[in-house]
């Protein structure tokens, strides 16, 4: 165990006793403690991931079983496995299953996309739904549906092009020899304000009977989901999610700052562009499928950080937390609250106080503002 | 000795003093703004999604509604009045808020005050069935006041007090939070959703003489309080310590001026819906014209705010003929780039 101090005095072979201030000599106990801590944190991370995955599975199963009619779990299982069961096949197979699958898919997408932005920009407020990227996707999707009369995959395409353009615009406008977090967030808020007024205008042009549907979609809703909406979002999740997870290490390096990341062997600009495109793709496809479900992208990262601790990447935990949030909020919105609320209203009302709390905590700590 | 010297300084010096804007130039600007306002009022009556001839305009102004054109003109008169009142209120409110918080990003929309007013109105309509115009106004003012206090409290936590960026962020976050509450309140109520939705975008299209008359006392009250605060705001601009040294009771001065601003934007929101960015853009423009002295800035902001909202309303009527674009949409599209430009400046200085 010769530390870095050893190389500076090559003439006299240093022993631990000769080190003047113990610089470079790490006592064995410290090494053991650090290693033990790492093992403990890794173990905790594993436990948390497994628990989260089990919770997602449990709520997913619940949302298939519970509803206006409660089917026996065995029937539900048989429907999921493709058997034909009287009654349950329609309700569970055609109504509940696509809805629950879409909830998981968009939850994962929002969680992954949101935490990528938050990590890369080192600020929990820099989530796509705060800095206007979701607003861009919604405005484009509303325009595509109401004005252009499109539907299905072409709406997703318009949404992702617009969301990428907005991301580029926000980044470009906030860039002044480096991107400061607060400036980027406020620029994004300004862009979001413009895009929301565009959405408001488009919707005010919609016919009355479109309007109610458009408003529900804008709030973020899983109502009336069928498989044709689930497929593009799932495909996007598989492709973009794989890209993000394969760049976990690079994302962690970028979090340390561009120079450090470059020193660690990360090609900073190409990696960042790849990460942004993948994250925006997730957000845009999920938004096109279910509307901008409020605050899921914003909440998933910080909640994941709370439960996992600061060990390793937050990508996977944030994705799971996102899926859990959407599933639970959709269940609450459907059955717990008297009137049927779309899922986005529930997450919005839950997320709003947390957003305020985050601002209060950042200000108290004298954060980077 | 020195004091005598200053006192006997030659009078023309006041006109060329680079720090104090020459009075004559200010007066010229004032005249120019009044002329522009008058021109916009005429334009607003004459131009709309329906093209009318000069004879229709003249007849409509005299109250005749015998042709469709005359009726359209007669409709535009209360609308124009309301746009002037609301625009002036929002411009003045923004100027006062920027003075009170010494924050170049302050605006009833950005600080979330308009959203607070909307939430209060929407909640009152949905829960206790509020339907009178005066009820709307009181609810909006109460909501605006609570939100303003809340945002200021959140924004001024921590080191450095209420810095411009912190305050803007607290306002935007509060606004986003309150918006999701508004959705939660409105969405299950199909019966009231239609009316509230068009109100929520922010527009002066549904103006009538009655609604304008009902809101006018509140607006006048706000204008008087705000304009009387001009001298206090000048002291506050020097910083709290200096202001206190000059004998100003800082907290009282802030509270009184803020009350004026809240009255103005609350009442304006109640009658026209939340209209953003007017209060942000106008004071900045006026500061370029007449300098930072609030005794000039506040009246100027009132006039310029009225001009801006009228211009936005007229623009909204002609860009998408035969339909109309609500004025709240136009002001957001015009004002947000302005907001971004201020944010992009290297440092956002306190006023």
Q: Give pLDDT tens digits for B181-224.
A: 888 888 777 677 767 777 777 777 777 788 888 889 999 999 99
Taking the Cβ of residue B197 and every Cβ of chain A, the question of whether any pair is shorter than 8 Å is answered with yes
Written as one string, the DSSP assignment of B54-84 is HHHHHHHHTT--SSHHHHHHHHHHHHHHHHH
Please tell me which residue of chain B has the smallest CA distance to A341: B188
- Under CATH, which number does the domain A122-292 receive? 1.10.3470.10
The span from the CA of A195 to the CA of B280, in Å, is: 18
- pLDDT of amino acid B71: 75
What is the domain partition of chain A in residue ranges?
122-292, 294-369
Helices B294-319 & B68-101 angle (0-180, nearest 10): 140
**pLDDT of B324-349, one tens digit each?**
888 888 999 988 998 888 888 756 55
Tokens of A255: 């979090």
Once rounded to an integer, what is the mean pLDDT over residues B164-179? 84
Distance to chain B for A360, nearest Cα, Å: 6
- A67 close to A99: Cβ distance less than 8 angstroms: no
Residue B9 has pLDDT above 70, yes or no: no
In this structure, of A58-72, B157-171, B283-297, the range with the lowest mean pLDDT score is: B157-171
Distance to chain B for A364, nearest Cα, Å: 4
Residue A327 has pLDDT above 90, yes or no: yes
The span from the CA of B227 to the CA of A89, in Å, is: 70
Q: Quick check: B157 and A345 CB within 8 A?
A: no
| Stronger pLDDT, A205 or A285, i.e. the higher one | A285
Query: What domains, with CATH codes, occur in chain B?
Result: 51-344 (1.10.3470.10)
Q: Looking at the partner chain, which of B155, B177, B325 has a beta carbon nearest the beta carbon of A355?
A: B177
**pLDDT of B274-301, one tens digit each?**
888 899 889 988 988 888 888 989 999 9
What element of type H or E holds B38? helix B23-46
Residue B351 has pLDDT above 80, yes or no: no
The span from the CA of B72 to the CA of B317, in Å, is: 13
- pLDDT of amino acid B2: 41
- pLDDT of amino acid B13: 41
pLDDT class of A340 with cuts at 50, 70, 90: confident
Residues 63-82 of B with CB under 8 A from A: none
Residue A32 has pLDDT above 90, yes or no: no
Q: Quick check: A342 and B174 CB within 8 A?
A: no
SS3 B49: coil
Q: Quick check: B198 and A204 CB within 8 A?
A: yes
**Alpha carbon A275 to chain centroid, angstroms:** 13
- A51 close to A91: Cβ distance less than 8 angstroms: no
Taking the Cβ of residue B343 and every Cβ of chain A, the question of whether any pair is shorter than 8 Å is answered with yes
Q: Quick check: A194 and B336 CB within 8 A?
A: yes
φ, ψ of residue A179 to 5 degrees: the values are: -110, 115
**Alpha carbon A156 to chain centroid, angstroms:** 18
Q: Looking at the partner chain, which of B154, B336, B340 has a beta carbon nearest the beta carbon of A363?
A: B154
| Stronger pLDDT, A206 or A200, i.e. the higher one | A200
Residue A11 has pLDDT above 60, yes or no: no
**pLDDT of A307-322, one tens digit each?**
887 667 889 999 999 9
Q: Quick check: B169 and A185 CB within 8 A?
A: yes
Taking the Cβ of residue B344 and every Cβ of chain A, the question of whether any pair is shorter than 8 Å is answered with yes
Q: Quick check: A342 and B187 CB within 8 A?
A: yes
φ, ψ of residue A175 to 5 degrees: the values are: -80, 115
Residue B145 has pLDDT above 90, yes or no: yes
**pLDDT of A135-159, one tens digit each?**
898 899 888 888 887 777 788 888 8
Mean pLDDT, chain A, whole residue set = 82
């Amino acid at each position: 165990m010769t530390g870095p101090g050893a190389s500076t005095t090559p003439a006299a072979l240093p022993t631990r006793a000769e080190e003047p201030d113990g610089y470079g000599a790490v006592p064995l106990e410290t090494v053991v403690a650090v290693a033990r801590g790492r093992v403990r944190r890794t173990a905790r991370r594993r436990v948390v991931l497994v628990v989260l995955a089990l919770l997602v599975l449990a709520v997913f199963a619940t949302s298939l079983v519970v509803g206006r009619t409660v089917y026996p779990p065995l029937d539900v299982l048989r429907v999921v496995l493709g058997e034909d069961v009287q009654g349950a096949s329609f309700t569970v197979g055609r109504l509940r299953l696509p809805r629950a699958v879409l909830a998981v898919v968009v939850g994962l997408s929002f969680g992954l996309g949101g935490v990528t932005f938050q990590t890369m920009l080192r600020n929990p407020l820099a989530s796509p739904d705060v800095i206007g990227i979701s607003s861009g996707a919604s405005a484009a999707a509303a325009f595509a549906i109401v004005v252009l009369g499109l539907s299905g995959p072409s709406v997703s395409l318009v949404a992702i092009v617009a969301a990428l353009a907005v991301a580029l615009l926000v980044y470009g406008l906030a860039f002044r020899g480096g991107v400061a977090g607060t400036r980027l967030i406020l620029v994004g808020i300004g862009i979001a304000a413009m895009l929301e007024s565009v959405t408001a205008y488009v919707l005010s042009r919609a016919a009355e009977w479109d309007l109610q549907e458009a408003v529900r979609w804008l709030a973020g809703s899983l109502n009336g989901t069928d498989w044709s909406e689930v497929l593009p979002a799932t495909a996007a999740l598989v492709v973009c999610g794989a890209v993000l997870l394969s760049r976990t290490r690079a994302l962690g390096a970028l979090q340390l700052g561009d120079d450090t990341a470059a020193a660690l062997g990360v090609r900073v600009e190409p990696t960042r562009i790849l990460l942004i495109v993948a994250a925006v793709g997730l957000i845009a496809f999920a938004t096109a499928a279910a509307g901008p479900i409020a605050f899921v992208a914003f909440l998933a990262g910080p909640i994941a950080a709370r439960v996992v601790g600061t060990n390793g990447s937050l990508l996977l935990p944030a994705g799971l937390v996102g899926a859990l949030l959407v599933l639970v909020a959709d269940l609450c919105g459907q059955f717990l609250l008297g009137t049927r609320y779309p899922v986005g209203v529930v997450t919005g009302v839950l997320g709003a106080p947390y957003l305020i709390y985050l601002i209060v905590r950042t200000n108290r700590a004298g954060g980077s503002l | 000795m020195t004091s005598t010297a200053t006192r006997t300084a030659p009078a023309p010096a006041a006109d060329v003093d680079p720090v104090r804007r020459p009075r004559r130039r200010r007066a010229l600007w004032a005249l120019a703004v009044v002329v522009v306002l008058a021109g916009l009022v005429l334009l607003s009556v004459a131009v709309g999604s329906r093209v009318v001839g000069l004879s229709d305009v003249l007849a409509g102004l005299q109250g005749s509604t015998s042709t469709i054109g005359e009726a359209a003109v007669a409709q535009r008169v209360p609308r124009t009045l309301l746009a002037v009142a609301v625009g002036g209120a929002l411009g003045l409110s923004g100027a006062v808020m920027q003075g009170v918080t010494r924050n170049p990003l302050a605006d009833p929309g950005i600080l979330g005050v308009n959203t607070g007013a909307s939430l209060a109105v929407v909640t009152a309509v949905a829960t206790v069935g509020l339907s009178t115009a005066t009820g709307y106004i009181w609810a909006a003012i109460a909501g605006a006041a609570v939100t303003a206090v809340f945002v200021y409290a959140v924004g001024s936590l921590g080191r450095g007090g209420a810095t411009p960026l912190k305050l803007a962020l607290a306002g935007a976050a509060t606004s986003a939070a309150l918006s999701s509450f508004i959705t939660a309140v409105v969405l299950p109520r199909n019966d009231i959703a239609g009316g509230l939705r068009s109100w929520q975008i922010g527009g002066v299209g549904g103006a009538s003489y009655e609604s304008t008359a009902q809101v006018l006392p509140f607006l006048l009250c706000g204008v008087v309080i705000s304009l009387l605060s001009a001298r206090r705001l000048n002291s506050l601009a020097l910083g709290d310590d200096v202001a206190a040294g000059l004998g100003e009771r800082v907290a009282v001065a802030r509270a009184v001026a803020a009350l004026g601003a809240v009255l103005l934007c609350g009442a304006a929101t109640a009658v026209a819906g939340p209209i953003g960015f007017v209060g942000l853009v106008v004071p900045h423009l006026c500061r370029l014209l007449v300098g930072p002295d609030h005794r000039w800035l506040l009246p100027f902001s009132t006039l310029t705010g009225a001009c801006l909202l009228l211009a936005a309303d007229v623009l909204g009527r002609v860009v998408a003929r035969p339909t109309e674009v609500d004025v709240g949409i136009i002001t957001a599209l015009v004002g947000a780039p302005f907001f971004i430009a201020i944010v992009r400046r290297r440092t956002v200085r306190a006023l």
